[in-house]
A and B are shown apart, each in its own frame.
Chain A
Amino acid sequence: MQKSLNIDPDKCTGCLQCELACSYDNENAFNPAKSRIKVFSFHEKGRFVPYTCTQCDEAWCMHACPVDAISLDKATGAKIVSDTLCVGCKVCTIACPFGTVNYNADTGKVIKCDLCEGEPECAKACPTDAITYVDANWTGLDKMRAWAEKTDAGQATA
């Protein structure tokens, strides 16, 4: 069963535990600046929004890469960057419509979410379940259930 990261900004408190976990797993140091998942804070609206690669099926980054450095992990569906093949041309960062592929100037390679081989550290670290790793066939199921409950007339008048 393929799974995907499901993000619920309403539950996010902006603590950055996801960024700490992601950076340690990938960089061996707590370093939010090198995290593949980012929490954006919209101060005047009081909103915190985690954002990362959505692992598109027809991945712009993968198709755009001129040296075939980005490949599909068939088990998880993740699009994985090979550090040995990546030449740091950044075409993928231009191709990605969501901005979730980023260039790391220290290594000269691009970095993006690889779903941690099917056990995403960000989801494990999130203290509020704002980030969960769910069945990819039913990414919206919990949201659907919540709306079903809200819009159910009997429930509303009970």
Chain B
Amino acid sequence: MAWARKILRVNLTDGTCNSEPLNMDWANNYLGQRGLATKYFVEEVDPKVDPLDAKNKLIMATGPLTGTSASTAGRYSVITKGALTGAIACSNSGGFFGNEMKNAGYDMIIFEGKSKNPVYLFIDNDDAKLIDASDMWGTSVWDTEDAIKQKHQDPQIRVASIGVSGEKGVKYACVVNDYHRAAGRSGVGTVMGSKNLKAVAIRGTKGVGVKDPKRFFEAAAAGKAVLAGNAVTGEGLPAFGTQVLMNVINETGALPTRNHRDIQFEGAHAISAEAMAEPRESDGKPNLVRNAACFGCTIACGRISTIDRTHYTVAERPQYQIASGGLEYEAAWALGAATGVDDLDALTFANFICNEQGYDPISFGATVGAAMELYETGVITDKETGGIELKFGSAKALTDIAELTGKGEGFGAEIGLGSKLLCEKYGHPELSMSVKGQEFPAYDSRGIQGMGLTYATSNRGACHLRSYTVASEVLGIPEKTDPLVSEGKAGLVKAFQDATAVFDSAGICVFTSFAWSLEDVAPQIDAACEGDWSVDKLLEVGERIWNLERNFNNAAGFTAADDKLPDRLLKDAAKTGPAKGLTNQLDKMLPEYYQLRGWTTDGIPTNETLSRLGL
């Protein structure tokens, strides 16, 4: 049935792999993936643990819909205490790995302890074992995936691995599966690297069932029809990918530029979806090869791109003259607008390197932006950068530093600290555009007020995937709200946070929420899973998950003082665009948000709230 009802527990210290039954009481309260794995995590791990200590655990988890034919239902999450943030981390990824894990018969894999030597986990249905990976240590994600398929002589194996950056302790390393799909944020790959775990390789052929097939097929088909008929999921995302947003957000006046000094970027068009589709001068072909789907996805927003073969980054290096993943909007923003670079091929190259060596282009690009500000103000000099002229707008500086960061070498090792530690190290903590140590994604909260509260209260640090109020404030989904107004945003953020926790925990992609409400999701879950899954129950599950994560963070030492934004966003008014003269009004939104959540004025869930949610 929808849940495999089985967990694989891998003790890396002892080198053992044992399976155990899934706790179905917890599944009934936390659904799956993000929610259920977080429940396991908080029950088993001391909140005060150092993220890189062997006592930290790392969980890979699927949702009950993962592996079914519900649209986008191929996702898995990686749950741990984040290396970048020290907060609860949950990064999810598409591609095809999650489906393979479910087909091998596991809802979750819990990794504990630390291996003495580099290893990878190999799963062939019920047969799970750790295999020496010494020969793969020091190799890229791409080479690791190829080497494992070669070694087991099976091209259909699905692999999730870390690159050199994850081995070298870059704070925002990812777990990358299927060459270019990543559990990207918060440094979950860094934790994996700290355990000497290079990769997880799976071949699963058992199949995934659902409770009521007839009802499930009807609900899934209805869901797909809604996605196909929606302007965003049926037209915009398939045609332009997430990059459809570059020009839109720039015109909204909310595109953070040069470390959030500005909120409009003059080079936005050059790095947009439209630019990706324009034929280049050298060969008449566009950067964009085609759109691509993750497992089961009927939206297919993924981009497959190439770099101009005459471009300085790849002219002498045929290994990068291939088609591969990207650019997606967040990466294009971080590598481009945040650094002031408008060279599309340079951005695509840097993105390839991020995928190949497994690190988060959002935190990376934003950290380069912060370093560029430190360089331009003379705090960092050529002495520190090893001669790289780290000026805003320098494509060469961006691509050089990307390669160094991927290897954890030279000034790349400093960039690998993330903006918070980097800016603290050089005496300017105020220049780090981050919350809880995690860099902002591609929306400036002066121009989109709700995103300020979203970032400030996100349990995994600044993030757009915890409550994407851009949907409402810019795109008018499910209803249009004014992006420049803070009134009413506390309720909007809470509603988006709770609903998103459900989408994540089911095993589907949050992009479906452009078209689907929980009214569309509930019938699919209810037909697939044992138990009764109504919209009301799902909303309560979402709220329960949010509070569970919050409780962990509070116990880990975070307080209301961490629900904040950098002064630049609170005190420096926007200079251009529709938001000109505005700062983010977090102080107005946050108290109302705490109240709506049923938390004290210090941001702590009250006993009444906890008991209502059964926590």
Residues of chain A having any CB pair with chain B under 8 Å: 13-17, 20-21, 23-24, 27-34, 43-46, 48, 125, 127-128
Contacts and interface: CB of A to CB of B under 8 A. Distances in A.
Contacts of B179: 43
Contacts of B67: 30
Given A45-B322, A46-B324, 14 more contacts: A17-B298, A20-B68, A20-B69, A21-B69, A24-B213, A28-B213, A30-B68, A33-B156, A33-B203, A46-B292, A46-B304, A127-B224, A127-B300, A128-B300
B103 interface: yes
Contacts of A24: 69, 213
B290 A46 contact: yes
A43 B298 contact: no
Contacts of A17: 69, 296, 298
B294 interface: yes
B206 A30 contact: no
A34 B205 contact: yes
B422 to A, nearest CB: 34
B208 interface: yes
B323 A15 contact: no
B469 interface: no
Contact of A15 (B290, B300, B304): B300
A29 B293 contact: no
Interface in B248-306: 289-298, 300, 302, 304, 306
Contact of A14 (B204, B213, B293): B293
Contacts of B306: 46
A100 to B, nearest CB: 16
Nearest to A40: B155
A147 B297 CA distance: 30
A44 B292 contact: no
B209 interface: yes
10 contacts: A15-B294, A17-B69, A17-B298, A24-B69, A31-B205, A33-B204, A34-B207, A46-B304, A46-B324, A127-B228
A45 B323 contact: yes
A13 B209 contact: no
Contacts of A13: 290-293, 297, 300, 302
A11 B517 CA distance: 28
Interface string B296-330: 11101010101000000000000000111000000
A27 B103 CA distance: 13
Interface in B547-561: none
B304 A31 contact: no
A128 B324 CA distance: 21
A29 B207 contact: yes
B99 interface: yes
Contacts of A29: 206-209
Given A24-B213, A32-B99, A44-B322, A15 B207 contact: no
Contact of A30 (B69, B224, B228, B324): B69
Contact of A125 (B69, B205, B208, B291): B69
Contacts, number: 82
A16 B324 CA distance: 19
Contacts of B213: 24, 28
B285 to A, nearest CB: 12
A27 B207 contact: yes
Nearest to B298: A127
Which of A15, A28, A31 counts the most chain B CB atoms within 10 A?
A15
A83 to B, nearest CB: 18
Nearest to A105: B205
Nearest to B206: A31
A21 B294 CA distance: 16
Contacts of B228: 127
A27 B156 CA distance: 19
B14 to A, nearest CB: 31
B324 A43 contact: yes
> Which of B103, B228, B294 has the largest count of A CB atoms less than 10 A from its CB?
B103
Contacts of A34: 205, 207
A18 B204 CA distance: 18
Contacts of B322: 44-45
B353 to A, nearest CB: 16
A33 B69 contact: no
Contacts of B203: 33
A46 B206 CA distance: 29
A31 B103 CA distance: 7
Contact of B296 (A20, A28, A43, A46): A20
Nearest to B288: A46
A-B residue pairs, 9 tightest by C-beta: A29-B207, A31-B207, A46-B323, A15-B293, A46-B304, A33-B205, A13-B300, A46-B289, A13-B293
